[in-house]
Amino acid sequence: MLPGFELQQNMSPPLRKKTSIEQAKACNAKESAVLILLFEKNNEPYIVLTERKVYKGAHSGQISLPGGKRELNETLQENALRETQEEIGVESKKVEILLQLTHLYIPVSNFIVFPFVGKVNDVPEFIKEESEVEKILEVKVSDLLNAQNIVEKTIQIKSKNIQFKSPAYAVNNVEVWGATAMILCEFLSIIES
């Protein structure tokens, strides 16, 4: 059994509530999938994150996992693999899916996200999708596991005149917070156990 939302809460922004799949669907939430892609480099495990392009939207410029909206007639796993190939150039056929993590509802964009964990056997040659991805980040799993890299990030949402503090992973000169940090928290607890 997966650790689920209770563990995701360790990296949650304040006031986020647990939302079931049924509750999210009642809000007409769109389905999407993301992939935590594992690979080994210099005998050390890494994952891939992306920095989104700046655009007029809720997740502008944020650090995220490769992924996106599910298309008609594709499974969630196919969704995660397709989006990963589109965004960072890793061919779907080279990825072995290891497991699916706990879903997560993102109220600000009304998406329910289904995370998958997969691996490739070689160091990938990344190809950035220029219209969506600003930067591809190769992150050591050991850096995410290092408790000294968990910080408190101040988030400002100027359009709503809101400011709050959220836990975040400070790695590779960026701060990973929100849904991505919550998904990573569950993933890290599984590999530690």
Average pLDDT, the chain: 91
pLDDT at 167: 94
pLDDT at 57: 57
Q: By the 8 A CB rule, do 98 and 109 touch?
A: no
Q: Could you tell me the CATH number of the domain that includes residue 104?
A: 3.90.79.10
Q: Convert the pLDDT of each residue in 132-143 to its tens digit.
A: 899 999 999 999
pLDDT at 150: 96
pLDDT at 55: 62
Domain hosting 28: range is 4-192
Number of domains making up the chain: 1
Q: How far apart are CA 158 and CA 58, in angstroms?
A: 12
pLDDT at 163: 82
Q: In the chain, which residues have pLDDT < 50? A: none
User: Model pTM?
Assistant: 0.92
pLDDT at 71: 96
